[in-house]
Amino acid sequence: MEVFQNLDVKKIILIPSYNETEALNHFLNRLLPMCSKEVAVVICDDSEELARDYIGKLVKSQITMNKCSIFVDFSEVKTGRCHAVVRGLRLTYEKFPNAEFFVECDADESHQVTDVMKILEDSHQSDFLIGSRYLPSSKIIGWPLSRRIFSRILNLLIPKLLGIKTTDVTNGLRRYSRKSVEQILALPLKTRGFITLSEIAVRLSERGFDPVDVPTIFVNRRFGKSTVTKKEIINSAKGLVSLLFARD
């Protein structure tokens, strides 16, 4: 990502993507018109070469149409969703010294644009916000029963095991303050897969940054396929065990 320091940018939206060409196009078309000049949108992309070419052209076409700054940071290898986000956090923390809040969200429209903006603009000054699917006013739309049960069990079990005060430790719609980003970047991550979201929450909670849950509407992806594979589930299970032992 080539960008000069921009002192006007106060808020960052990080969008990890992997071959999300169709979904990303739809998501940006809805998101970018809602962003002001103080917002920078950064796509943290691990895609294959053909998709990288498409995404590069997509970003260029959006630059002249919107007020906010738009950038894409490519990786030559697939690092995984959470590690792509952390890569983006490191870049934007350095390049935008006046940025106060950093939001991460998915590219597949499971995180609704209205919720992304709600998290971004939330008046609560918490260092760590999580968009929760499991508050009374939250909704999950379009998920099969098996995914609902699996996710609900994880979000009941993991917070209790790791001592995190949240109803949704596995959702990737989050907002971090600059102080919490410093803590995330202070040490290398030990896990891979979706359990890395839990590792980040543990790291912040241990340093006094307990999450504040915000209700959201979660919609099953309309475009592309889920990147959660059996390998990632196995790696995440191993990661959970390592986090448990690390706390001992």
User: Do strands 69-74 and 39-45 pair parallel, antiparallel, or not at all (unpaired)?
Assistant: parallel
- pLDDT tens across 152-206, in order? 999 999 999 999 999 999 999 999 999 999 999 998 888 888 889 999 999 999 9
Domains present along the chain, CATH in parentheses: 11-247 (3.90.550.10)
For residues 119 and 64, the model is more confident at 119
For residues 114 and 80, the model is more confident at 114
Length of the chain, in residues: 248
Q: Check: CB of residue 141 under 8 Å from CB of residue 216.
A: no
- pLDDT tens across 6-22, in order? 668 999 999 999 988 88
> What's the CA gap between 67 and 38, in Å, rounded?
9
Mean pLDDT of the chain: 89
pTM: 0.91
Q: Check: CB of residue 215 under 8 Å from CB of residue 134.
A: no
Q: Check: CB of residue 98 under 8 Å from CB of residue 9.
A: yes
Provide the 10 A C-beta neighbour count for residue 21: 18
pLDDT at residue 229 is higher than 70:
no
Question: Residue 248: what pLDDT?
Answer: 45
DSSP calls for 27-43: HHHHHGGG--TTEEEEE
Closest to 244 (Cα-Cα) out of 187, 194, 190: 190
Query: Coil, helix or strand for 12?
Result: strand
Question: Residue 139: what pLDDT?
Answer: 96
DSSP calls for 106-155: -SSSSB-HHHHHHHHH-----SEEEEESSSTT-EEES--HHHHHHHHHHH
Q: What is the mean pLDDT of residues 59-86?
A: 88
Fill in the DSSP letter of residue 99: -
Fill in the DSSP letter of residue 222: S
> What's the CA gap between 157 and 7, in Å, rounded?
42
For residues 233 and 93, the model is more confident at 93
Q: Check: CB of residue 32 under 8 Å from CB of residue 62.
A: yes
For residues 141 and 62, the model is more confident at 141
Q: Which amino acid is present at 126?
A: S
- pLDDT tens across 26-50, in order? 999 999 999 999 999 999 999 888 7
Q: Residues of the chain with pLDDT > 90: what percent?
A: 62
Q: Which amino acid is present at 128?
A: F
pLDDT band at 234 (very low <50, low <70, confident <90, very high): low
